[in-house]
Amino acid sequence: MNIKFLGPVPPHELDQLYKKHHIFALPTQGENFGHAIFDAFCNGKPVVISDQTPWTQLAEHHAGWEIPLSQKKAFISCLQQAIDWNHSTYKEWSNGAHQLAVQFVAGSNINDQYKKLFF
C-alpha cells in the first residue's frame, strides 16, 4: 500500500491526479459540504472520510465510507478493503461514487438556485 500526502494541488492538475488514483481519503475534522469529496465522487473515486461531513451512508451506495476519527483501525480496514478489490468490484464502487454525484446534482435544483442568486 502506498499513501502519499501531496498537500495543496492546483485545480488545473486535479483531473490528472484523479486519473492516477483509485480512492480519495480525507480524515477531516469538519466540512460543511466537502467540495474535494464531491470532486472525488464526480471523478468516480470512492472515498474514505471522517463522519464530520454531511456525506453519509456511503457504503450503502458503494461510494465509500464515513468513519469516526476515533476509529483509526476502521480507517485502516476500509483502506485494506479497497486495496483488495478486484477490477470488477472497483468498477462497481467507482460507479457508485459517480452516481452519488449525479443524484446529488439531479436533486439539488442547482439551476434554479443560480437563477435566483444572479437574476
Sheet of strand 47-50: strand arrangement: 24-26, 47-50, 64-67
Mind listing the pLDDT tens digit for each residue in 28-62?
999 988 889 999 999 999 999 999 999 999 999 99
Beta partners for residue 19, in sequence order:
none
Task: Domain ranges for the chain, please list them.
Answer: 11-118
pLDDT at position 108 is 76
Cα separation of 46 and 98, whole Å? Answer: 8
Fold that domain 11-118 belongs to in CATH: Rossmann fold (3.40.50)
Q: Who's near 80: CB < 8 A, 6+ residues apart?
A: 1
